[in-house]
Structure 1
Amino acid sequence: MSQDVRLASKEASQMPVDESRENRIPPVDSSGRSSAHRRAVLPWIGAFLKPYRARVIAAIVFLFIGSLAWLSLGQGVRLMVDEGFLQDNSERLNEIILLVIGITALSSSAIFCRFYLMTWLGERVSADIRLKVYDHLLKLSPGFYAKLRTGEVISRFTADSTLLQSVVGSSLSMALRASVTVIGGIVMMTITSLKMTALVLLAVPMVLGPIFFFGRKVRDLSRKSQDRVGDLGAYVDETLHEIHTVQAYCHENRDRELFNERVEAVMDAAKGRIKYRSILISLVMFLSILAIALVTWVGAHDVMQGVITAGELSAFMFYAVMVAGSVATISEVIGEIQRAAGATERLIELAETPIDIPLPQHPQMLPTKVRGDLQLNQVCFAYPNTDNSSENGSDAQCDDPQDNQWVIRNLSLQIHSGERVALVGESGAGKSTLFELLQRFYPLNSGSILLDGIDIANLMPQALRQQFALVPQESVIFATSVLENVRYGRPDASEQQVIDACIAAHANEFIVDFPMGYHTYLGERGVRLSGGQKQRIAIARAILAERPILLLDEATSALDAVSEHKVKLALDTLMQGRTTLIIAHRLATVLNADRILVMQKGELVASGTHSQLMQSCELYREFASLQLLTDEP
């Protein structure tokens, strides 16, 4: 995926970057609000809980059993005081103690079941969300990843989804249990003493006010905090992946300073959240205990006047303490829930980012055997977010020669089945972008591209891309074995087929020297391979894929003279009967091409063989003398 982004970025020098939102997800409505703010968080999570409704119901049932059992202990307290202590009745006291133990055992069993189910649901929902988000990310084009840093995506996948898992599995359960306890406690308090309950309810607005006010503050600040953590993760990802360059240029001290700035930004964002959450918890605790103390004072006077019994006051106080404790729990948990809400908004943004490659409503089917004929008709393309980019691409115009936003401008050409075509031109001419457009990694602004006479916009992207084998200049090696790297484009290939492809690419000769041969782990980004070895693995992958069209971004550029000769022989065999487009940087490449296309600023300025162009095209002559590398040392 990262290689696709690098390829797409080769001609993206015209693409403007909004530095204030360099790693933010773009979907917004006409009012400028993110789609996540329009989308309620709880219903979104509820959709993931729906398949497990039986477990959710069971968890709720056990929650009610546990909470009601704890509430019934208040009556046990009343009986112990009124019928045990005050009556001096030891037998009755023993019976009440056994009843209390039985209720406690029931409650503990219910707590076990509830905790197990809710924790399982938290893990399952988190896993399902990761699956959904990852599945959606695979459908987004390289243009999306040119705007969003990989570290930001990783942060949302790990930190945000883990936080959500904790909330669903623990915090949400605690909040529900505490809410049931509050409601049940108030009901039991009302049964015990309507007068004192009314006094308690007068204090409820004082307690709920801070929860709603500071809870909203915590949610907003939590979102900002998670964004700063995402920035931090993106920076770590970038510097560690490019550690060779960092150390080669002795940039460690400067990177420490920049990293420290990002760490402090995380801390600054967290300070406000911590402050408001601390205020919330302390206020709720103070107001709750204050209310209980005042009501106890009133209740004590009622006992002395004979309005209620000492047992009823004890039961009421038991319920009041339970309610106060539950309110305190809610105030603590609400901060975690609001923090998770901010994290969930970030996940929703990823999951609901619009797919920027429109799918055909009625896709056409390619023939069983694709010939590989390509035709481009008046193709215009500018990278997204430029002034001239139209969302649907139907009304774009690129005739103005002074407009530098267009990467491909009015390009029309025909490439016949089995033809070898070399693309030459200075950097930014549109060569790599043309590769991207052929594989439909970006929608065209205008014009059309036909494969065997079928507009590629009418094909499903996966069906289209299965016709191309790509060998980029910077070979992509995945952190797995040689075997899995080679059969990346053809997962059902046998080990012998992989070996045959590697022999054809002259890669077998160094693979067999590895400790575990084809099962050798190559390390992240192929750190155990030389540049030439990476190139041959990538060529073996293309050979094994057996696709009708080859896209070669100067596939021999990283090879030494001996390896280059061997790989050229393999490529000559591979290209037989296949349409081949080659981005050329060497003279030998263009000499072997059937036709050379000269590109300048996204336009086709000349076409022909090497000898024809040397006579007819001054730009090509200049390019050949200055930029095409010769085989001379």
Structure 2
Amino acid sequence: MTQSQGDVAKTQQSTESEQKTNSNPEKKKVTLSFLAALWPYLSRYKKVMAGAATALIITAMISLLLGQGVRLVIDEGIGAESMTSLNAMLGVVMAMVIVMAVGTFIRFYLVTWLGERISADIRNDVFKHLVRLHPSFFEENQSGEIMSRLTTDTTLLQSIIGSSLSFALRNALTVSGGLIMLFVTNMKLTSVVLLGVPAVLVPALWMGRRVRNLSRESQDTVADVGTYAGEIIRQVKTVQSYSRENFEIDAFGKEVDKAFNVAKKRILTRSALLAIVIFLSFSAIASMVWVGGYDVMNGNMTAGELAAFVFYALMVAFGVAGVSEVYGEIQRAAGATERLMELLSEQTLISDPENPFEVNTSSKPHLALNQVTFAYPSRLDRPALDKVTLDVQRGETIALVGPSGAGKSTLFELLLRFYDPQQGNINLLNTNIKDIRLNDLRTNMALVPQQPVLFSRDVWYNIRYGKPDATDEEVIAAAKAAFAYDFIMDLPDGFSSHLGENGVRLSGGQKQRLVIARAILNDPEILLLDEATSALDAESEFQVQKALDVLMENRTTLIIAHRLATVLGADRTVVLDKGAVVAQGTHESLIASSVLYKRLADLQFGET
């Protein structure tokens, strides 16, 4: 194994180790709190946070002052039997209520806005990071799991930051302030209340940790449900053709039940946590009321003081219960944050060079592969390409032929730099493609794959995807060149017709012609055709082949061909077998010199 292969193997082993660690939430260690991970996003809106914090502090202080207002209303108004004092005290209380209502409005608006904004920022950053990751990442990770993180987890964060976190902070302030006011009001009764604090905190912390683990597991199982459903919906024709509807319904039900059972454990734990906290908190309050009532009856404190103390005690109790309830939600947010940060921390294996080179457009050859060896990370012991050397001149048409698994499609993936070879190098205009910006490299090429790829938009969008700034006239001209114009105009809305998911409303031949029109519009220097006409009927293939012949003039073209008849006019045919170039030349010369090529020709043309 070479050093490069060893590095890839280590990377793969590291990735597998991380995946195993992440799959077991009980053993995962979190080095940073979720707020620390979110701070880069929160810090963008310091003014909003400052405004929300100010409103939060003001409303919390007024809440605390209301206790003293209750004491004054009872002692100075009701107790003194003075309507003047009662009206004055109630007026003060109402003024505080109005200020608290305005402050609550400001706090709620700012915090909710902050939650929505941060959720949107994270969603944008995750998507921006995802579309730049190396393609093999999406081959190794399920799309449903990725989409769950991008949508469900960010939505959860919005809910937590926009409401639950604010609620927790408000309760934390009122609990702290309430405890201080309890001490100020009556030290003896406060000591009774504090006896119950350890009994409340210990189960809250212990069970909160379990809620966090269960929340992470619950989110993962929900993602599995989405992944399973998405795959079945995409392959629904296959499911129905084999009459597997009932099987898939049962299998999906099992996935749903699995997610529900995990959620049930989480809900049960949170419910138990909330019940224990409420029971212990109000038990402490009941004990305090009994002691306070005894002191009032013995003249050791006034009724107003007891009422104020009960007010603060209830404030503390409800605050502790609220924090305990929200603590479970915050644990869920921590799990969601971990999943999102894992995506954002994923390093792409393919990136722009730090100091990109400008290509020399006059260099020859156009493309060159020098002793290129590549093995997929999952099969390092079986090279897909083995010491491939190939020079392609500008304007030359090269056909790549060989049995399945010979490395033809892999060569295209390396040219587009979806992967990098472990050995050797690939040059574009005498410049290593690793030293060229990805955008500059890929805009020089256009790929027409064997399986056409279309987006769930209209025809304009799909053809123009190869050249976003193309005019309508250029799009129409490309469609005509690909012999797609007539069937496009037969669609309900012509070029404005929406095609459905991956062009489900079109036939295979129609989809392929739209993809060819996209490539024609892109007008690349290098064409990569992977059996571009394989999905067409005989007449359409003849028409599209004529269009491709015109497009290929004075253009470098590489064609993967399984049907040799489609590439008889190529300047050169390269025969690949088991990842190596075993022969190259014209059809006639290869018939005479290559046993493999002659066998392929005999099978297809019936030659002997």
Single out whichever of 222-231 and 47-56 deviates more from structure 2. 47-56
Q: Does 1:62 align with 2:39?
A: no
Q: Quote the residue 2:416 is aligned against.
A: 439
Q: Which runs of 5+ in 2 are unaligned?
A: 1-7
Residue 399 of structure 2 aligns to a residue whose secondary structure is strand
Partner of 2:599: 622
TM-aligned CA distance change 1:371 to 1:91, over 3 Å: farther
> Are residues 119 and 528 of structure 1, via their aligned partners in 2, closer, same or farther at CA, if it must alter by over 3 Å?
same
Question: How do 1:534-613 and structure 2 match up within 5 A?
Answer: 534-613=511-590
Corresponding position: 1:314 with 2:311: no
* Identity across the alignment (%): 49
CA separation in 1, counterparts of 2:294 and 2:423? Answer: 86
The one of 459, 484, 494 aligned to 2:461: 484
Correspondence 1:458 to 2:435: yes
Equivalent of residue 236 in structure 1, options 229, 232, 243 = 229
Contact 1:27–1:34 (CA under 8 A) maintained in structure 2 = no
Match of 1:472 in 2: 449
Q: Which amino acid aligns with 1:312?
A: E
Q: Is 1:274 aligned with 2:267? A: yes
Cα distance in structure 1, aligned partners of 2:173 and 2:602: 82
Q: Any conservation in 1 of the 2:399–2:559 contact (CA below 8 Å)?
A: yes
CA distance in 2, matches of 1:234, 1:313: 58
Tell me which residue corresponds to 2:108: 115
Return the offset for 1:202: 2.8
Q: Which residue of 1 aligns with 2:193?
A: 200
Pairwise CA distance, 1:516: 2.0
CA contact 2:369–2:425 (8 Å) conserved in 1 = yes
Letter aligned with residue 165 of structure 1: Q
How far does residue 587 in structure 1 lie from its aligned partner after superposition?
2.4
- What is the CA distance between 1:208 and its match in structure 2? 1.3
- 1:294-351 per-residue CA deviation (whole Å, 9 max, x = no partner) reads 1222222222333322211110110000110011111111111111211111111111
The alpha-carbon deviation at position 201 of structure 1 amounts to 2.3
Q: Does 1:504 align with 2:481?
A: yes
Verify the 8 A CA contact 2:406 2:576 in the aligned structure 1. yes
Distance 1:24 1:457 in 2: 29
Q: Does structure 1 conserve the Cα–Cα contact (< 8 Å) formed by 2:145 and 2:226?
A: yes
- Equivalent residue runs for 1:46-61 within 5 Å: 46-61=39-54
Q: Secondary structure at the match of 2:91?
A: helix
Deviation for aligned residue 1:65? 1.3
Cα distance in 2, alignment partners of residues 234 and 372 from structure 1: 46
Deviations for 1:132-169, whole angstroms, at most 9, x for unmatched residues?
00000011121001011111111112211111110010
Task: Map residues 309-458 of structure 1 onto 2, 5 A cutoff.
Answer: 309-367=302-360, 373-387=366-380, 405-458=382-435
Query: Are 1:588 and 1:631, in contact at CA under 8 Å, matched by a contact in 2?
Result: no
Instruction: Provide, for residues 417-438 of structure 1, a one-character-per-residue CA deviation record: whole Å limited to 9, x for no partner.
Output: 1111111111111111110001
| Residues 157-236 of structure 1: pairs in structure 2 closer than 5 A | 157-236=150-229
Give the length in aligned residue pairs.
595
Give the aligned partner of residue 129 of structure 1.
122
Partner Cα separation in structure 2 for residue 543 and residue 191 of structure 1:
81
- Find the counterpart in structure 1 of residue 241 from structure 2: 248
- Return the offset for 1:22: 12
Identify if the C-alpha distance between structure 1 residues 432 and 523 changes in structure 2 by more than 3 Å, giving closer, same or farther: same
- The one-letter code matched in structure 2 to 1:50 is S
Q: If the length of structure 2 is used for normalisation, what is the TM-score?
A: 0.94
**Counterpart in the other structure of 2:75:** 82
Q: Distance in 2 between matches of 1:476 and 1:452?
A: 29
Deviation at 1:215, TM superposition (A): 0.7
Structure 2: how far apart are the matches of 1:203 and 1:419? Answer: 85
Q: CA deviation at 1:34?
A: 10
Letter in 2 for 1:480: R
1:48 to 1:142, Cα distance in 2 relative to 1, 3 A: same
- Indicate the SS of the match to 1:580: strand
SS in 1 for 2:376: coil
Alpha-carbon distance in 1 for matches of 2:358, 2:131: 22
Kept in 1, the 8 Å contact 2:119–2:154? The answer is yes
Shift of 1:199: 2.8
Q: 1:527 aligns with which of 479, 488, 504?
A: 504
Provide Cα deviations, 1:555-612, integer angstroms capped at 9, x if missing partner: 1111111111111111011111111111102222221111111111111111111111
Residue 122 of structure 1 contacts residue 169 of structure 1 at CA under 8 Å; is this kept in 2?
yes
Match of 2:5 in 1: none
SS in 2 for 1:380: strand
Distance 2:324 2:525 in 1: 63
Q: Residues of 1 paired with 2:592 and 2:380: CA distance?
A: 39
The residue number in structure 2 matching 1:396 is none
- 1:387–1:59 Cα change, 3 Å: same
Superimposed CA distance per residue, residues 495-544 of structure 1 (whole angstroms, 9 cap, x where no aligned partner)? 11111111111111211222322111111110111111111110110011
CA distance in 2, matches of 1:210, 1:275: 14
Change (3 A) 1:199 1:161: same
- Relative distance call for 1:85 and 1:132 in structure 2 (3 A) is same
Distance across 1 between alignment mates of 2:391 and 2:562: 22
How far apart are the structure 1 equivalents of 2:473 and 2:281? Answer: 74
Call closer, same or farther: CA 1:168–1:188 in 2, change over 3 Å.
same
Q: Distance in 2 between matches of 1:79 and 1:68?
A: 17
Distance (Å, rounded) in 2 between the aligned partners of 1:322 and 1:531:
68
For 2:28 and 2:348, how far apart are their aligned partners in 1? 14
Take 1:542 and 1:35, find their aligned partners in 2: how far apart are those partners?
Answer: 47
* Stretch deviating more after TM superposition (268-277 or 464-473): 268-277
2:463 touches 2:475 (CA, 8 Å); kept in 1? Answer: yes
**Residues 325, 419 of structure 1: alpha-carbon distance in 2 compared, 3 angstrom cutoff:** same
Aligned pair in 2 of structure 1 residues 450, 298: CA closer, same or farther (>3 Å)?
A: same
Distance of 1:43 and 1:292 partners within structure 2: 36
CA shift, 1:39, in A, is 4.5
The AA in structure 2 aligned to 1:468 is M
- 1:200 Cα deviation from its structure 2 partner: 2.0
Aligned to 2:135: 142
Distance 1:194 1:378, change over 3 A: same
Q: Distance in 1 between matches of 2:327 and 2:374?
A: 49
Partner of 1:12: none
Distance 1:630 1:256, change over 3 A: farther
Q: Larger deviation: 166-175 or 47-56?
A: 47-56
Q: Is the alpha carbon distance of 1:631 and 1:614 closer, same or farther for their aligned partners in structure 2, counting shifts above 3 Å?
A: closer
How far did residue 271 of structure 1 move?
2.2
Tell me by how many angstroms 1:385 deviates.
Answer: 3.9
Moved more, 354-363 or 426-435: 354-363
Higher RCO (CA < 8 A, seq sep 6+): 1
Deviation for aligned residue 1:28: 7.7
Match of 1:3 in 2: none
Alpha-carbon distance between aligned partners in 2 of 1:23 and 1:222, rounded to the nearest angstrom = 23
